[in-house]
Amino acid sequence: MQTWFLVELITLVLSVPVLALSYYWCFLLVTSLKYPRDLGKKQVRLLNFPRVSILIASFNEKFVIERTLDAMKHLDYPKEKVQVVIADDSTDETVYVIDEKVRELNRYGVSTIVSRRPTREYFKCGALNKAMEKVTGEYVLLLDADSIIPPDILSKGIGALESHERAGFVSFRYGHYNRDYNMVTKLFALSQDLGDTTSKMGSYLIDSPFSFQGGFTLVRARDLRDVGMWSNERIADDTDISIKLYLKGMRGIYLSNVKIMSEDPSTLEAWKKQVARTSQGWWRCIAKYWKQILFARNISIRKRLGLFLMLTAPFSSLSWVFVTFLTAFAIISGVVAPPHSIFTSPLYIAVLTIPYAISLFSSAWALWLQDLLKARNLILIPMLSYAEGAMLTLSSLGFFYGVFNRMGFFLYRTPHSGNGGEMTRTHYFQSLANDRNAIIEGMLASLGIVLGVLVFTHGMWFLSVSMAGFGLCTLKSMNLTRGLSASKARQEPLREIAPELVTIRAWRKAESLTTEDRNDVSRLFLLSSLRRNEAHI
């Protein structure tokens, strides 16, 4: 077998998963067009009101948790049938914010309790598993600390669960309360809308598997306990539970017209970390459940295939990187002559570009469903390709870490500010760009640009545009100018100071403090708040 033929065979084989996922996505898009427009819009009248527990995960969410808890007062559900359980692992002022809101909600008539632990063992999953000991509801609404729920969510969610045969969970649409904060939040919102519209609406129509998101889901408490609740592996825990429910023969329900508002990341660094963590976690789910999925007796072959397609979606990034770089090196080294490369085949190029063209329509469809298909938003559609290109490296690294069971360097949470204000000035976001992944990202992007230029001289224009575009998008997304000035940024004044410190005198003092000193000020504030609370009691 000639070397050039072997290279092209490898390229073609690795392209198959990408093409399969792309055309499956197109199929779901077509299916989503038939989604019933009135599903979730009509008011639901329940014959009885089962007890519902609202389980909220929180870790240092002082800017958003208060608003989330305030929404509990406006539910159109009997107060005596609602229980709020907060799984709180916070180590900052959030503790006092939550304690005050708990007292307030209990006075209002909504039973509210906090679950806290002496350690953060297993992080969010450990906190939720511990909090489930306090859950008394027949149903559990899973929320994140920044989730703002509509008043009718419980009646509509329970109504949907009870009216669908074999329903294991109800997933609600991801809403965005800071959608217009900057270009990144607009693109992230469009990306989420696209996923919800195509994947979840389409999957619901054909009863195909999709993964729920923990901050947007209603599930029966007994089903949650039957599948063992949250895995202690800590990554992609929501997908882990989704798979276990599907393996029991259940299905997911999606209510597109019921939104839970949430906060979008306002920097590409944070967004890319989310994508990488998802890629890593989904591969761990494949490694953990592939045998059970393959030999499951109570689900059809079609659903098993749907589960594999869902879980292998992040592999498409790694596949694209490997295929393009392998082809480029083979062309430049002379192993493969340009006429022999599949990247010069009009058929192969057409097969690749058709799903991309359809994705442009699907983005417009997603905007139209949200009444956002306006001229000023059309620029978001091609720009989403830029954002997706910037995700390729970290998504590939996440998949790689998942294959080798490495934790990687990904942070376990996304910081929330309540309105996105000054998030790019915090130490957290500065640190995102300063890890080994960023070095790999920069090197691969630079190499992609160089290879793109070289293969262009060999007449490989399609491959050249793809690789150079990938490299430029990735380098732009890394925000190198801020990374180079990180040392100077550490001296910037802290904007996330507690309200009690925002006086002219305290502000001037804070301006002169280093990051470490300001942390000390924050700790002193905690102590003073605790003393005031004790004195008040």
Summarised one tens digit per residue, pLDDT across range 147-182 is 999 999 999 999 999 988 889 999 999 999 899 998
Residue 535 has pLDDT above 80, yes or no: no
CB contact burial 278-309 (16+ within 10 A = b; e otherwise): bbbbbbbbbeebeeebeebeebeeebbebbbb
Distance of CA 286 to CAs 240, 283, 309, Å? 10, 5, 11
Share of residues in the chain with pLDDT > 90 (%): 40
pLDDT of residue 328: 92
pLDDT of residue 480: 54
The C-alpha R_g of the chain, in whole angstroms, comes to 25
pLDDT averaged over every residue in the chain? 81
Q: Contact, 239 vs 210, CB < 8 A?
A: no
Mean pLDDT value across residues 362-366: 91
Q: Quick one: pLDDT band at residue 488, thresholds 50, 70, 90?
A: very low
Tell me, what amino acid is at 432?
L
For 198-224, how does the pLDDT look when each residue is reduced to its tens digit (9 = 90+)? 889 999 999 999 988 878 899 999 999
Q: What is the greatest pairwise CA distance in the chain?
A: 83
**CATH 3.20.20.140, applies to 49-264:** no
Give me the sign of the Cα torsion angle 382, 478, 395, 186.
negative
Mean pLDDT value across residues 451-478: 89
Least confident of 29-38, 235-244, 396-405: 396-405
Residue 106 has pLDDT above 60, yes or no: yes
For 57-92, how does the pLDDT look when each residue is reduced to its tens digit (9 = 90+)? 999 998 899 999 999 999 999 999 999 999 999 988
Higher per-residue confidence, 421 vs 110: 110
Tell me, what amino acid is at 276?
A
**How many Cβ atoms from other residues are within 10 Å of residue 96's Cβ?**
18
Q: Quick one: pLDDT band at residue 4, thresholds 50, 70, 90?
A: confident
- Distance (Å, rounded) from C-alpha 140 to C-alpha 217? 8
**Model's pTM, two decimal places?**
0.82
Tell me, what amino acid is at 451?
L
Q: Contact, 409 vs 434, CB < 8 A?
A: no
pLDDT of residue 489: 39
Higher per-residue confidence, 77 vs 496: 77
pLDDT of residue 1: 56
The DSSP secondary-structure symbol of 331 reads H
Residue 481 has pLDDT above 70, yes or no: no
Residue 245 has pLDDT above 70, yes or no: yes
SS (H, E, C) 409-465: CCCCCCCCCCCCCCHHHCHHHHHHCCCHHHHHHHHHHHHHHHHHHHHHCCCCHHHHH
For 108-121, how does the pLDDT look when each residue is reduced to its tens digit (9 = 90+)? 999 999 999 988 88
The residues, ordered by sequence, that sit 6+ positions from 203 with a Cβ below 8 Å of its Cβ are 28, 31, 209, 210, 252, 254, 306
Share of residues in the chain with pLDDT > 70 (%): 83
pLDDT of residue 55: 96
Q: Calculate ∠ Cα 341-336-475, nearest 5°.
A: 75
